[in-house]
Amino acid sequence: MTTFVEAINETMARAMREDERVIVLGEDVAEGGPYLVTAGLAEEFGRERVRNTPISEGAVCGVAVGAAQSGLKPVVEIMFIDFITLALDQLVNQAAKAHFMSGGQLSVPLVLRTQGGAGQRNGAQHSQSLEAWLTHVPGLKVVMPSGAADAAGLLWSAIADPNPVVFVENKSLYFRRESVPDPPETIPLGQARTLRPGRDVTIIALSRMVHDALEAADRLAGEGVEAEVIDPRTLVPLDLDTLTQSVTRTGRAVVAHEAVAAGGFGAELAAQLQAAAFDYLEAPIQRVGAPYTPVPVSPPLEDAYRPGAEDIVRAGKVALEWGQYDAEPWEKGALAGS
């Protein structure tokens, strides 16, 4: 059994053994980083290829973009996705646009690893889920694995990709164990995974919420409801075909993520699914996400803030009961102040 952290670490080591162009950059990466994801890499590959950087996310990302355009394949660590705000100029205005603006002459084979998610009592500035920002930028690929095996397979594909990839890891998953093939199975970017088949409602969940979705499906099964659970695994590119095929069969859908519901990637999923499967829908697509407030640091408040299995069960029941009586959406719209 392998933890998420071990899967990421072993995949980076394997990539570095097979390709000397792969380097690792970031704050304290030579010492293992804050979660020991890069532990042991400096000892095996040396500090020329595993480089500690100053505490300047903009500088780190800028160096990585230049290295990638010069023929290297940097894997950059930004400790918290909250700090990616400081690297967005380089990531969004340089890395994401270089291939397009050079008429295809430049490529940026860069992987930016970052950690998101609440639940660690880290406060509002170290606990956000900001993946929706990144999916809005043409030229960036965005990956969100939910387990160790997927993390290994997707990271391998991300490192091999000639385009910039943001690899978002949920901190709450880091020490969850699961079986990982040896060697890990390579997973193409843009390939969703159906974890549980069902005929009554489709639950599409991201990252940590995949495990809550499976728990919710178990609970719904106790009430005679067969819920299908799908993990998109990558947000860009998105496997819309797999999602649409499921929704057209079940006629009902719930999209769930840990990020704030308002403006979250679930809104994009709902919009694309209703356009692709409108004639088959029996109810509005339900969205599960965090409330429209900064992440609390108080343990009871943070626990209440984080969406989970209970929210998914409730959303599933609303979708199933729609039209039978005056069922109400669980979330009426945070931006409206309700």
Dist CA 37 CA 132 (whole Å): 24
Residue 116's pLDDT is 95
Active site includes 257?
Answer: no
Residues 10, 27, 57, 258: which is the catalytic one? 57
Whole-number pLDDT of residue 337:
44
Average pLDDT over residues 136-142: 98
Average pLDDT over residues 86-111: 96
Distance CA 148, CA 59 (A): 30
pLDDT tens for 200-241 read 999 999 999 999 999 999 999 999 999 999 999 999 999 999
pLDDT at 171: 94
Residue range 2-178, CATH number: 3.40.50.970
Q: Please, where are the H alpha helices in 235-307?
A: 240-250, 265-277, 299-305
Q: Please check whether residue 230 is in contact with residue 213, taking contact to mean a CB–CB distance below 8 angstroms.
A: no
Task: Identify the DSSP state of 86.
Answer: G
Do 2-178 and 193-326 agree at the fold level?
yes
pLDDT digits (tens, 9 = 90+) for 29-56: 999 998 999 999 999 999 999 999 999 9
**Residues 312-324 pLDDT 10s:** 999 999 999 987 7
What pTM, to 2 d.p., does this model score?
A: 0.94
Indicate the pLDDT class of residue 338, thresholds 50, 70 and 90: very low
* CATH code assigned to 193-326: 3.40.50.920
Q: What percent of the chain has pLDDT over 90?
A: 92
Residue 238, pLDDT score: 98
Annotated active-site residue 57? The verdict is yes
Q: What is the DSSP string of 47-61?
A: TTTEEE--S-HHHHH
pLDDT score, position 259: 97
Q: Which of 99, 126, 211, 257 is catalytic?
A: 126
Q: Is the pLDDT of residue 83 over 50?
A: yes
- Report how far apart, in Å, the C-alpha atoms of 70 and of each of 18, 21, 64, 131 are: 19, 10, 10, 28
DSSP structure class, residue 184:
P
- Give the CA dihedral 154, 158, 160, 164, nearest 10 degrees: 170
pLDDT at res. 184 = 87
Whether residue 87 contacts residue 58, with contact meaning beta carbons closer than 8 Å, is answered with yes
Question: Which residues is 51 bridged to in the sheet?
Answer: 25
Indicate the domain borders of the chain: 2-178, 193-326
The angle at the Cα of 332, spanning 314 to 131, to the nearest 5 degrees, equals 80
Q: What is the mean pLDDT of residues 300-311?
A: 96
